[in-house]
């Protein structure tokens, strides 16, 4: 239940701030407005401060377990190739995965089409990943 | 109250609220904010176990991620109740001009009705945008180990160099699409 509420909060903010809007994403890639950069930038600043606090004070989660944050493995190839492929799709659909769910909830049923193919894209990657450079 | 909620949220309110998702999920259950993995769990749920190693794990242990995306759908619905009459996204005039060259004239709503329609879906352009675009988002997110939430927000918040590389990849792909490929598809 708590995760549904957390998601609901995120979805609401994402729509009201227009992060889910194709128009905003294309505006961002045209460098015509500070809006998206301001959102991502300030989110990261708050994220960095929060994680520093969590690490410094070795905070525990609600179950009483020590919070541990996994490090991402370094393999430049996969981040460059995979990241660029994701970017190509991001500019086409004008929405990343989270916003797509929010758009469907907002009544834009047609976004179920790119969502279904994102699901198939994920499946395809999992099936052929041994053959891809990582 | 409704009038207040009908206003778009400025970046300096939305950004910090989205940033707070990172500590919120860590404190709730020691989970890292990231959304695209939900597709992987859905694949793991529907594919026969053991056939593909990438999808052979206990997806039920990652249930939180699926509940989270259900919440996002509900949040999107809730936000729709606060949409003002005749709402349109206040993008800059330069962007409007650029999009106008691609034949976009309807700026109402969150996404352009000229592109995201069933009739456009059946054209080559619509197929590339919605089908290929969706596919690349899913494929690229897993190949690159995360999407905007997992890398640009979570990863950068934890000062991860891999995430910075991935985010640069997101922009390389996005800019290439915006300046060189989309103009060919749409105009």
pLDDT digits (tens, 9 = 90+) for B125-154: 999 999 999 999 999 999 999 999 999 999
Long-range contacts of the stretch B104-108 (C-beta < 8 A, 24+): B104/B186, B107/A23
**B19–A43 C-beta distance less than 8 A:** yes
pLDDT of residue A4: 98
What is the structure's pLDDT at B179? Answer: 96
Query: Could you tell me the pLDDT band of residue B4, with boundaries at 50, 70 and 90?
Result: confident
Contact A133/B at CB under 8 A: no
Residue A117 burial by Cβ neighbours in a 10 Å radius (0-12, 13-18, 19+): buried
**Residue B2 pLDDT grade (very low, low, confident, very high; cuts 50, 70, 90):** confident
**pLDDT tops 90 at residue B15:** yes
B109 pLDDT higher than 90: yes
Residue A39's pLDDT is 98
Reading the block at residue B73, the tokens are: 């759908």
Question: Cα–Cα distance between A45 and A41 in angstroms, integer?
Answer: 6
Arithmetic mean of pLDDT, B155-162: 96
Residues of B in contact with A45 (CB under 8 A): 15-16, 19
- Mean pLDDT, range B42-64, rounded to an integer: 95
In degrees, rounded to 5, the angle at the alpha carbon of residue B36 between the alpha carbons of residues B33 and B39 is 130
Mean pLDDT, chain B, integer: 95
The reported pLDDT for the residue numbered B185 is 93
Does B137 sit within 8 Å of A86, measured CB to CB? yes
Which pLDDT tens digit goes with each residue over B56-102? Answer: 999 999 999 999 999 999 999 999 999 998 999 999 999 999 999 99
A8 at interface of B, judged by CB pairs closer than 8 A: yes
Q: Do B22 and A79 touch (CB under 8 A)?
A: no
* pLDDT tens digit sequence for A77-131: 999 999 999 999 999 999 999 999 999 999 999 999 999 999 999 999 999 999 9
Confidence of residue A70 (pLDDT cuts 50, 70, 90): confident
- Mean pLDDT over A60-73 rounds to 91
CA A83 centroid distance within chain: 12
Q: What is the pLDDT of residues A21-36, one digit of tens each?
A: 999 999 999 999 999 9
pLDDT (mean) for A8-20: 97
The tokens for B46 are: 């529907």
Please name the residue ranges forming H helices in chain A.
2-16, 22-29, 35-56, 76-93, 97-105, 112-128
How far, rounded to the nearest angstrom, does the alpha carbon of residue B55 sit from its chain's CA centroid?
Answer: 22
B160 contacts A39? CB cut-off 8 A:
no
Q: Which of residues 4-63 of B touch A (CB under 8 A)?
A: 5, 8-30, 32, 35-36, 38-40, 42-43, 47, 52, 54-55
Is the confidence at residue B172, as pLDDT, over 80? yes
- Confidence at residue B60, expressed as pLDDT on a 0 to 100 scale: 96
* Integer Cα distance of A94 and A92 in angstroms: 5
Answer whether residue B1 shows pLDDT above 80: no
What does the mean pLDDT of chain A come to? Answer: 96
Interatomic CA distance for residues B77 and A100, integer angstroms: 12
CB-based contact, A52 to chain B, within 8 Å: no
Structure tokens at B17: 């609220």
Nearest to A28 by CA among B80, B86, B174: B174
Can you give the pLDDT at residue B187? Answer: 77
Q: How many residues are listed for chain A in this entry?
A: 134
């Amino acid at each position: 239940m708590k995760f549904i509420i957390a998601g609901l909060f995120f979805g609401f903010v994402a729509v009201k701030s227009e992060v889910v809007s194709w128009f905003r994403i294309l505006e961002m890639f045209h460098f015509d407005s500070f809006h998206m950069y301001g959102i991502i930038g300030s989110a990261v600043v708050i994220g960095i401060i929060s994680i520093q606090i969590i690490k410094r004070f070795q905070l525990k989660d609600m179950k009483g377990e020590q919070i541990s944050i996994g490090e991402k493995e370094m393999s430049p190839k996969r981040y460059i190739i995979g990241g660029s492929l994701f970017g190509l799709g991001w500019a086409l659909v004008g929405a990343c995965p989270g916003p797509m769910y929010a758009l469907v909830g907002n009544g834009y049923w047609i976004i179920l089409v790119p969502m279904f193919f994102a699901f198939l894209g994920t499946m395809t990657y999992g099936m052929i990943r041994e053959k891809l450079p990582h | 109250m409704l009038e207040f909620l009908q206003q778009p949220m400025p970046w300096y309110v939305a950004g910090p609220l989205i940033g707070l998702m990172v500590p919120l999920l860590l404190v709730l259950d020691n989970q890292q904010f990231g959304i695209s993995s939900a597709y992987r769990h859905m694949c793991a749920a529907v594919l026969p176990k053991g056939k593909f190693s990438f999808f052979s794990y206990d997806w039920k242990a990652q249930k939180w991620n699926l509940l989270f995306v259900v919440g996002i759908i509900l949040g999107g619905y809730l936000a729709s109740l606060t949409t003002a009459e005749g709402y349109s996204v206040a993008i800059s005039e330069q962007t409007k001009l650029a999009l106008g060259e691609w034949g976009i004239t309807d700026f109402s709503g969150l996404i352009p009705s000229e592109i995201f329609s069933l009739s456009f879906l059946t054209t080559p352009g619509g197929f590339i945008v919605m089908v290929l675009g969706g596919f690349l988002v899913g494929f690229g997110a897993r190949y690159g180990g995360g999407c905007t939430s997992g890398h640009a927000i979570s990863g950068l918040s934890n000062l991860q160099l891999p995430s910075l590389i991935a985010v640069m990849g997101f922009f390389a792909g996005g800019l290439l699409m915006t300046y060189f490929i989309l103009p060919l598809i749409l105009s």
